[in-house]
Amino acid sequence: MSKRIVILGAGESGVGAALLAKQQGYNVFVSDGGLISEKFKSELVQASIFFEEGKHTEEEILLAEEVIKSPGISEQASIVRKIREKNINIISEIEFAFRYKGDSKLIAITGSNGKTTTTALTYHICKHADANCALVGNIGYSFARQIAIEPKSIYVVEVSSFQLDDITSFRPDVAVLTNITEDHLDRYEYKLENYVRSKFRITENQSENDVFIYNLDDQVTMNALSKYPIKSTQAPITMSRELPQGAFLTNAQMHLKWKNEEMRMSIEDFALKGKHNQYNSMAASMAATAIDIRKEKIREALQSFESLEHRMEHVASIKGVDFINDSKATNINSTWFALESMKKPVILILGGVDKGNDYNLLRDLVAEKVKVIVCMGKDNSKINEVFGDIVPIMINTENAVDAVNASFHYAEKGDVVLLSPACASFDLFKNYEDRGKQFKQAVKNL
């Protein structure tokens, strides 16, 4: 009898895991409490994988020898509790995929901010160096799907804390932790230390032959570093001092020091601008260096990288007003970085599903740079409360079209309309991509 595996959730990671499990000879059953998209449904049908949608049938699920849980499903969900009560092993899709990666190399990147840019940039460097590589995880295909359909020698994986919560043996050759700020605290009993522990799990199976890249200037990371036994070789990044090994900035030059070699590059040559992107560029360069990508390839790739959709993406300039789509800013810190890099007066579109945000962290920057706040969410009371006394004009809207129209109405030549919501998007949109696309469409309709 083949081993029975049940997959909870039929999004990209769940369906990817199902395809790989089927390929590896498991008896697979997929269960999604919501509706499964047509695209994923047809893939499951084609692969002859049994599935259900709109419900979780307990007697089917509790027969599992192992359960792969999609990252979006909370530990508090009643079906998850019942699986735990029966002591059935629960793993994440990245853990499952890891078992079948063969002798490929793995660069895994996590962090509260900058992880998508760092992941995309690391992949861009590897690709530019003609490495046989794939970009997987939270961007692109799921790790499991890539292994099932087209295995590669190097995987650059963006991993979330939710995916790390359910690992046992997952071990990246190179682990990158960009930074840690308060995010997703609603899933971690509103305790920062629980979230920090989750992020540090990226290192827990590493050995001294593996590499751990982290930000020396990030206070939360540094406070936690001594609590977790790091066995891997450390390659920190910093803007505050010179290092014997790692990446650092001095006098507008990036230095990469690794195995008695050093590379230098002017930050003027980085395609990505802004202080936060200098950190992302250092982290990606260090990761590529750690898997022996040649220095000149890293240099060229840093100069040719184009920024990502929904991340500080310039949409249009209309009558002297710039529109910027930063829909991927789903937490306070991302919005802080976006505001910090603004050189013109800002009309800020904020709001969505609040994950326990402390908007007070933005007050100083908002007071300095923002002339109008346009709220876009079902409940904007907290935003109005925090900024009402420092921003003269506050407008409440409930969709992208109204938010864009209101912003344009108050904008003057030389202003920037910045969509950087600091919140998740699930109240009005499918996800941050949907929010960004609706914003861009509304701008085009102007």
Domain architecture of the chain: domains with CATH: 4-91 (3.40.50.720), 95-304 (3.40.1190.10), 313-445 (3.90.190.20)
Residue 279's closest CA among 106, 105, 121?
121
pLDDT tens-digit map of 224-269: 998 998 999 999 999 999 999 999 999 999 999 999 899 999 999 9
Q: How confident is the model at residue 276 (pLDDT cuts 50, 70, 90)?
A: confident
Q: Copy the structure tokens of residue 172.
A: 């990246």
Per-residue pLDDT band at 337 (split at 50, 70, 90): confident
pLDDT at 280 over 70: yes
Does residue 363 have a pLDDT over 90?
Answer: yes
Half-sphere exposure at residue 119, Cβ-oriented, CA atoms within 13 angstroms? 27
Q: Model confidence over 32-55: pLDDT tens digits? A: 999 998 999 999 999 999 999 999
Query: Which pLDDT value is given to residue 353?
Result: 85
Question: What is the spatial distance between Cα 237 and Cα 362, in angstroms, rounded to a whole number?
Answer: 25
Tokens 């000879």, residue? Answer: 25
On the question of pLDDT at 385 being above 70, the answer is: yes
User: SS3 for 296?
Assistant: helix
Among 143-157, 195-209, 299-313, 346-360, which stretch is predicted with the lowest mean pLDDT?
299-313
Q: Return the structure tokens found at 151.
A: 């295995």
Q: Quick one: pLDDT at residue 312?
A: 82
Residue at 425: amino acid letter: S
Q: Is 43 within 8 Å of 36 (Cβ atoms)? A: no
Question: How many Cβ atoms from other residues are within 10 Å of residue 86's Cβ?
Answer: 12
Residue 440 to residues 319, 329, 331, 394, 406: CA-CA distances in angstroms? 16, 15, 20, 22, 15
Taking the C-alpha atoms of residue 254 and residue 266, their distance in angstroms, rounded to an integer, is: 6
pLDDT at 185: 81
Q: Residue 279: which pLDDT band, with cuts at 50, 70 and 90? A: very high
Overall average pLDDT of the 324-338 stretch: 88
**Average pLDDT value for residue range 389-400:** 95
For residue 87, the model assigns a pLDDT of 97
Separation CA 202–CA 178 (nearest Å)? 12
**pLDDT at position 387, please?**
96
Count CA within 13 A, CB hemisphere, residue 401: 1
Low-confidence winner among 217-221, 273-277, 299-303, 365-369 (lowest mean pLDDT): 273-277
What pLDDT is stored for residue 116 in this prediction?
Answer: 87
Assess whether pLDDT exceeds 80 at residue 115.
yes
pLDDT of residue 1: 66
Per-residue model confidence (pLDDT) at position 33 = 95
pLDDT at 336 over 90: no
Among left, alpha and beta (phi > 0; psi -120 to 50; other), residue 87 is: left
Whether 179 and 221 have beta carbons less than 8 Å apart is answered as yes
**pLDDT per residue over 61-111, tens digit each?**
999 999 999 988 999 999 999 999 999 999 999 999 999 999 999 999 999
For residue 194, pLDDT over 70 is answered with yes
Q: Contact 267/278 with Cβ under 8 angstroms?
A: yes
Amino acid at 254: M
For the chain, give the percent of residues with pLDDT over 70: 99
The whole-model pTM stands at 0.77
| pLDDT tens per residue across span 140-185 | 799 999 999 999 999 999 999 999 999 999 999 999 999 998 777 8
Distance CA(397)–CA(378), nearest Å, equals: 8
Q: Return the CA Rg of the chain.
A: 22
How are strands ordered across the β-sheet holding 246-250? Answer: 237-238, 246-250, 253-258, 261-266
- For tokens 């960009």, the residue is 178
